[in-house]
Amino acid sequence: MHAARIGPNAIIQTIASLREVYAPDELPKLLVGGAEVYLSELPHAMIPEEQFHALVELLTPRLGVERAGEILYRSGERTADYVRANRIPGPFRTVLGIIPAPIGLRLLLPAISKHAWTFAGSGKFSFHLGRAPWISIGKPVDHDTSGIAAVLCRYYCGAFTQMLRRVVSQRIELREASCQARGGEACVYQIVM
């Protein structure tokens, strides 16, 4: 079986988020068991999704679910900023910023969906447009992430909130409608404009 791969920013931005909060001498105490390599060498190519999940599994008990969730939310924001600046062409960003938000969603979400494998890994990304738009990230099918689902959900929420606010409309909010951490098959976020 071929392991699902995701972009390296999941790890790069998580380490950057840790660096925003923790002093340099605290980081080696948090990143142990092989993860300390990220202090000197970050991935630059697609990684197995399990590599990111292993980092989250390491951080969650060390920081606690709430604090790890805060770090991962920020990591998601940083990932969205990277994608916006480096993967969405400037003219497309400009157009999305001046058209009505519902139309912007109709253009952006299908584009995101085409590249969803780069962040969803073996999980399924889906969306619905219309009067009550939503986005969804399904559970990874390659392995069990139930122990870190609450923290992973914060990463996705941070990424999508930041992306939609920065690209489509500052007024957008995401409201969690379903969560893997509470037994849902997916993290589902209602998009409120």
- The predicted-structure confidence for 146-182, as pLDDT tens digits, reads as follows 999 999 999 999 999 999 999 999 999 999 999 999 9
Q: Which pLDDT score is estimated for 141?
A: 87
What would the pLDDT profile of 6-49 be if each residue is shown by its tens digit?
999 999 999 999 999 999 999 999 999 999 999 999 999 999 99
What's the per-residue H, E or C state across the chain? CCCCEECCHHHHHHHHHHHHHCCCCCHHHHCCCCHHHHHCCCCCCCEEHHHHHHHHHHHHHHHCHHHHHHHHHHHHHHHHHHHHHHHCCHHHHHHHHHCCHHHHHHHHHHHHHHCCHHHHCCCCEEEECCCCCEEEEECCCCCCCHHHHHHHHHHHHHHHHHHHHHHCCCCCEEEEEECHHHCCCEEEEEEEC
pLDDT band at 1 (very low <50, low <70, confident <90, very high): low
Over the stretch 57-74, which tens digit does the pLDDT of each residue have? 999 999 999 999 999 999
pLDDT grade for 94, boundaries at 50, 70 and 90: very high
Q: pTM here?
A: 0.95
Report which listed range, 20-29, 109-118, 140-149, is most confident: 20-29
Domains assigned to the chain: 5-192 (3.90.1520.10)
pLDDT value for 142: 78
